[in-house]
Amino acid sequence: MTDVAAEAAPAPTFAHRAEYFALRSVIRALSSLDWNTACAIGGRLGALGYRPLGVRKRVAEKQIAAAFPELDRKGVQRIARASFDHLGRASIETALLPSLGEKGVLGIVTQVDGWEHMERAIAARKGVVMVAGHHGNWELLGAYVAARGVPLDVIARGMANKLFDRYLNETRTRLGMVVVHDSEAVRRTPRSLREGRAVGFVADQGVLGLASTFVPFFGRPAKTPRGAAVFALRFNAPVLFVDAIRLPDGKYRIIIEPVEATPTGNREEDVDAIIRRFSQLLEGWVRRFPEQYFWQHRRWRRQPPNTPPELRDPTRAD
């Protein structure tokens, strides 16, 4: 699964080039190490973002405290610190996935819950809409599904750094995924679903200008993209929630659950119901493994104007 800026992003700046070549140097150095050692170093690099660098440290802590009001300050800090570690590990894992090959990707997944839902959906030949959140390792999800032989398109929003964006999309392609820029999704997704392909969306970040609706996430209204649900209803395609949870030994557990909603005949209400159910499933897994969520992103940044003060974005003062 992917999370990819605008197609007409500006030409790479000096800072973009420096960032890209620094990252490539780190990846090259880590590629010479064994998988566990490289990922552990990734975790330590990620932890530096929390302390001493403090990159989005307050954003993460405020959102965790809002989502889990029962936690004391130490509890919030423990989850925040672990989330930075997880993000560093996941980033290095993503960069190194192509070096594993198909067999290696399958090998780092030791538990799969619900693969029968994927098999049943593919067999129906109506296409499959896969939805994931920024939890666990969403890039590994796409690599694993593709390695299992499922024809997969991933909808991607481009990054501001076009050099890194190109590198990341080349990595996804090498792992067997077809990358579709979000500007092409309206044209490409219908054809893919008609061909019985799976189409993957990372669907838990509201974006300015993107068709969205507001659904509860940890009790607060969160702007959430509608695209996945709209396509699913239009083409009668099953919707599957997917997640990849890192286990204590560094291996992964894949989760696949149907996103079920009772049709009412009202397309708008049915779209909202699917999005609401997806958010409920995601929240459930985030509650179980909060350290694996992308708390560094301001999830409640965009809300309805009539949102009660107690439910507003907890980071709005940052």
pLDDT 10s digits, 34-48: 999 999 999 999 999
Q: Which residue has the tokens 């080039």?
A: 17
Write the pLDDT tens digit of every residue in 70-83: 999 999 999 999 99
Angle at 271 between CA 141 and CA 293, to 5 degrees: 35
Write the pLDDT tens digit of every residue in 115-155: 999 999 999 999 999 999 999 999 999 999 999 999 999 99
Phi, psi (5° rounding) for residue 241? -80, 135
Rounded Cα–Cα distance for residues 7 and 99 (Å):
28
Q: Using CA of residue 272, residue 154, residue 67, residue 70, what is the dihedral sign?
A: positive
Query: Cα-atom radius of gyration of the chain, to the nearest Å?
Result: 19
Rounded Cα–Cα distance for residues 197 and 177 (Å):
11
- Please give the residue that has the higher pLDDT: either 11 or 227: 227
Write the pLDDT tens digit of every residue in 259-309: 998 889 899 999 999 999 999 999 999 999 999 999 999 999 999 999 999
> What is the identity of the amino acid at 69?
P
Rounded Cα–Cα distance for residues 303 and 68 (Å):
20
Are 311 and 221 spatial neighbours (Cβ–Cβ below 8 Å)?
A: yes
Percent of the residues in the chain that have a pLDDT greater than 70, as a whole number: 95
pLDDT above 50: residue 224: yes
Exposed/middle/buried for residue 241 (C-beta within 10 Å: 0-12, 13-18, 19+): buried
Question: Using 50, 70 and 90 to split pLDDT, how confident is the model at 318?
Answer: low
Compute CA distances 196 → 118, 131, 227, 234, whole Å: 12, 16, 18, 14
Question: Which pLDDT score is estimated for 63?
Answer: 98
Q: What is the pTM of this model?
A: 0.91
Mean pLDDT of 97-108: 92
Rounded Cα–Cα distance for residues 123 and 166 (Å):
33
Q: Is 175 left (phi over 0), alpha (psi -120 to 50) or beta?
A: alpha
Going by the DSSP 8-state scheme, the letter that residue 104 receives in this structure is H
**pLDDT, mean over the chain:** 91
Q: Provide the token pair at 254.
A: 């894949």
Mean pLDDT of 192-210: 88
Question: Which pLDDT score is estimated for 137?
Answer: 97
Question: Which pLDDT score is estimated for 87?
Answer: 96
DSSP string spanning 47-98? HHHHTTS-TTHHHHHHHHHHH-TT--HHHHHHHHHHHHHHHHHHHHHHHHHH
Question: Using 50, 70 and 90 to split pLDDT, how confident is the model at 1?
Answer: low
Question: Using 50, 70 and 90 to split pLDDT, how confident is the model at 7?
Answer: very low
Question: Which pLDDT score is estimated for 6?
Answer: 38
Q: Provide the token pair at 59.
A: 């954003």
Total length of the chain: 318
Are 258 and 117 spatial neighbours (Cβ–Cβ below 8 Å)?
A: yes
Are 188 and 153 spatial neighbours (Cβ–Cβ below 8 Å)?
A: yes
Question: Which pLDDT score is estimated for 276?
Answer: 96
- Please give the residue that has the higher pLDDT: either 245 or 100: 245
Phi, psi (5° rounding) for residue 34? -70, 160
Question: Which pLDDT score is estimated for 148?
Answer: 97
